[in-house]
A and B are shown apart, each in its own frame.
Chain A
Amino acid sequence: MPTPLLPLRGIHCERCGHVATPVQHFGCESCGAHGADVADRPLTGEGTVLGAVTVHRPGGETVRIGSVHLQEGPMVRALLAADVVAEDRVRATETDAGLLFVRGDH
């Protein structure tokens, strides 16, 4: 069974408050805390687009990819719906192609 994409998950550091995604158990990049100090938490999947580009793949297919600044702090790169532009408010959805950010809040 593949892990469901939603809700997006991140780690929250109990020692320094740093929030990061994806989830990993190695340790906090900000302060080095590890083990029980670093908790796996769901994220809202909502954020703001910092930048968005159309990418030309070999074979002529194009996809829209963007930098999304999530509400909780981390910045992620992800597929965007075709009409999404920079500064849009977006939310994460799950599609056959994987994670896709679309316009609008929940």
Chain B
Amino acid sequence: MKKQVTLGEQLRQRGISRRTFLKLCAVATSAMALPPAMIPRVAAALDKAVRPSVIWLSFQECTGCTESLTRSHAPTLESLIFDSISLDYHHTLQAASGTAAEAARDKAIKDFYGKYLLIVDGSIPTKDDGVYSTIAGRTNIDMLKEAADGAVAVVAVGTCASFGGIPYANPNPTGAVPVSELVTDKPIINVSGCPPIPVVITGVLAHYLTFGEIPALDSFGRPLAFFGESIHDRCYRRPFYDQGKFAKSFDDEGARSGWCLFELGCKGPTTHNACATKKWNGGVSFPIESGHPCIGCSEPNFWDGGGFYKALSTTTRPLANWTGAAVVTGAAVGAAAGVAAKRKRSAAKRAHHTVTADELKKKEEA
């Protein structure tokens, strides 16, 4: 282990000029979605920041979140790892494998106990004692609990870790639960999205690195800087919505003219995320700009939302405040869903309609 040098010292030792340091601070400020007036404060904080140790655990997931992270352009993953954080365990990105990898994790937990940031992607299957996902013979439940014990905070990356995501979707055969069901005594930051926007993942890490504390969160535990507004609030097609100009099919005149996609099922009004401003692929575009309605992937239970192409039935009120009573139909409200029903997220579920595969097919054929 190297001794704890500050980021400022480290960059100077590498011959990075103050000017370039200021540039990196401007980039970091933008990545954190903070106003440019904060650049001097970010510079002062980053000067003194010490690289935090980060342990990343992947559970029941598709690796899409890691794929997304590796595509972050501001900062790039490389500059994040080499300059800013010490990524001590990530089973997809690290060179070590097998028992060496397990040993690396144990060592990081021991060396930085009480100080490291734990990042989790994927949900955790709890049915049948968690046998549906194991690593080196240990269940995800077991591994999460052990690693969370020594963490200062947990960042749940992706909708699976934040809200259960696709594994949690009806009928949830593995009894999948989000991190917040199992870790109750640590601060949890939910960075939802399927996957989350790359710069939102690195932006949250940059915030922790810079200020040494977790950012302000919304009622679902998501950083307000990125999830404070709905897609609809910031959507460039919004003037068409306000004028009542809607595309009715994907190839009609309205679609070609770039009108609002609400009637094609856009979940923008009930979805909180930064796609409309941060965009994807280095800021090139985002789904609505490419002509596809928002599917609401950063909201709880988006998969069971009644069909991606079904128009939201009413209102643009945020899900969190929803008290409507559209009942969840469909079969299994599994064990995990039962637990979750106690929580706020169940409100989100009620706000959606469920739909059968048959209905979906009919809709597609129509």
The answer to whether A and B come from one shared complex is no
Residues of A within 8 A of B (CB): none
Residues of B within 8 A of A (CB): none
